[in-house]
Structure 1
């Protein structure tokens, strides 16, 4: 994927302070660049490059589009709630849609709708059909196919979305082409007799990154747990990977980080203080003693029972 454009729409049935009834966020290559919500009542830029690049009337047009999307989302929320025969409590409607520009020049588009945190219906651009997850969603699928909604979304994802993506790339090209290497920190923490090694990468751009734990020269992906690549407020990203190891083996483990901003992959090791090592060793020793005492007690109990 060379570049991506995504929109996130969220509607709630019971808004509260800080949680608007409706909100849209636009993301270019994973970076939030525009926002509109029902509390502010206007579409607003989130990056300087989009603020400087667009025409003065752009935000008025985006505000009108946001208002139309809000009415559609509120209506969808009511329809789906009634279809499940649910009460007027807190319910949520979520839609994620957008397009990717691939390295071969082709376009990949997607749309997914969710209700109360669960998948509801999605649109498959290749087959140009909606895919329902249950009977309630199947009703929507039939209605939308009768109304040629699939054709509308095909046109949007293949053409209009791509036009917007290329336009925004032009505004933010300098920002998007920058490369900021990650700041990597490795830490260790003893939990239940095991040592949890964590590798955190901060402040990198673009969001493409590989973080792997290695034991010796072998990558241990099956034992590794990863966090997502999450945007920061300054337009960079952060992520993490962690692994559980036996405390006595910690010196064999290294964190390998590969990123376009680095001239070559970096290898990072945990560097505990002497007190930290002593704490881990003592914890392991105490655990071993407890197990030994329990084993001796079990043997004595068995003999007495016999």
Structure 2
């Protein structure tokens, strides 16, 4: 597969303002609901190309930051399937015996439409070496009281926004971008009234059911595991990196301060990334001259924390460095002394052995010669 395809499958959605949900956990206390919105969104991606014009279509359903179901046209039997254990329970079929079948048919219909839109081999601007994508992001948002707050639906081609449903859900607005695209063919969108009906009724109903049956997963708040690392760059610069690992939901704030003043403009901040186990990770870094590390503090805010955290880089204790240095020095000295003693013994042994052999030889020769008396 193509690298671009892999990136799109990992992203699975258009860029959109995220809406977070969860509980606040306080160590030693029971968790209590936090009054925040919840969202159910469906993200689909259609891809076409290159060379052999291979086609692929994927759909992923999310509740807040959790992937709960998905469909992949490359599967042996493409159909919408649960991606979490609590979606595999009988309650889904009890609520709607044909849920999985009907949803699969709906998305397969959309797949056929997208495939037709992307079948542009006859267009002059299509290249056999390029990969073309068509994305959709549609969802509904509920308030903490379970009431409908808003809905949205967005379309994009090649990562560029083209159509978006207006806030009143009554009409579409087309972005004035990439005029060379065959709009009459590519940018046809569903009827706004039908989308609004889905968002205000079926989407809301299922989001409430998902939150109720998956609350142990969806309404949790896992606090981040945090630490600061030190990375020398040169003799004149070092980097401090503030880490947050294993947290859920994904909404988190990492901020570096120098003498209690934000240094956001000088800070390198990566996007929040999935860790692969249902949690997320993130880091923020700042560069400074050596010796100024203690002037910097990292501030972490997350709904799983009872209060914001303030972190500093803790250099290794001087006593530890001294002990390690002395230990290494003594070890080296011991090795040198041991080697010298062994070498001396070896050399001394050779000398004594040669001397003894020579003395023995002389004695032996002397014993074989009898004293001769002088002749008269």
RMSD of Structure 2 on Structure 1 (CA): 3.1
Q: Distance in 1 between matches of 2:150 and 2:233?
A: 44
The match for 1:43 is 80
Q: Distance in 1 between matches of 2:164 and 2:182?
A: 11
The match for 2:116 is 75
Kept in 2, the 8 Å contact 1:121–1:137? The answer is: no
CA displacement at 1:136 relative to structure 2: 5.3
Instruction: Please state whether the residue corresponding to 1:254 is helix, strand or coil.
Output: strand
The match for 1:114 is 156
Output one character per residue of 1:209-263: Cα deviation in whole Å (capped at 9) or x when no partner.
2221122322333332322223333222222222222333211111111222222
Kept in 1, the 8 Å contact 2:63–2:218? The answer is: no
Change (3 A) 1:83 1:42: same
User: Are positions 1:161 and 2:203 aligned together?
Assistant: yes
CA displacement at 1:141 relative to structure 2: 10
The match for 2:12 is none
Instruction: Please state whether the residue corresponding to 1:196 is helix, strand or coil.
Output: strand
Q: Distance in 1 between matches of 2:181 and 2:151?
A: 21
The match for 1:101 is 142
TM-score by length of 1: 0.76
Identify which range, 59-68 or 194-203, moves more after superposition: 59-68
Q: Distance in 2 between matches of 1:253 and 1:82?
A: 59
User: Are positions 1:32 and 2:74 aligned together?
Assistant: no
The match for 1:291 is none
CA displacement at 1:48 relative to structure 2: 1.1
CA displacement at 1:200 relative to structure 2: 1.6
The match for 2:273 is 230
Instruction: Please state whether the residue corresponding to 1:54 is helix, strand or coil.
Output: helix
Count of aligned residue pairs for this structure pair: 271
TM-score by length of 2: 0.63
Instruction: Extract unaligned runs of 5+ from structure 1.
Output: 279-306
Structure (1/2) with the larger strand percentage? 1
The match for 2:256 is 213
CA displacement at 1:20 relative to structure 2: 7.0
Structure (1/2) with the larger helix percentage? 1
Q: Distance in 2 between matches of 1:9 and 1:84?
A: 27
Kept in 2, the 8 Å contact 1:111–1:123? The answer is: yes
Q: Distance in 1 between matches of 2:195 and 2:44?
A: 16
User: Are positions 1:8 and 2:43 aligned together?
Assistant: yes
Change (3 A) 1:260 1:20: farther
Output one character per residue of 1:189-221: Cα deviation in whole Å (capped at 9) or x when no partner.
233643222212111122232221122322333
Q: Distance in 1 between matches of 2:296 and 2:185?
A: 51
Which of 151, 173, 178 is 1:130 aligned to? 173
Output one character per residue of 1:71-109: Cα deviation in whole Å (capped at 9) or x when no partner.
122122236x76673234421112122122235744222
Output one character per residue of 1:270-300: Cα deviation in whole Å (capped at 9) or x when no partner.
234489xx9xxxxxxxxxxxxxxxxxxxxxx
Instruction: Extract unaligned runs of 5+ from structure 2.
Output: 1-35, 322-376
CA displacement at 1:51 relative to structure 2: 1.6
The match for 2:104 is 63
CA displacement at 1:38 relative to structure 2: 0.7
Kept in 1, the 8 Å contact 2:223–2:304? The answer is: yes
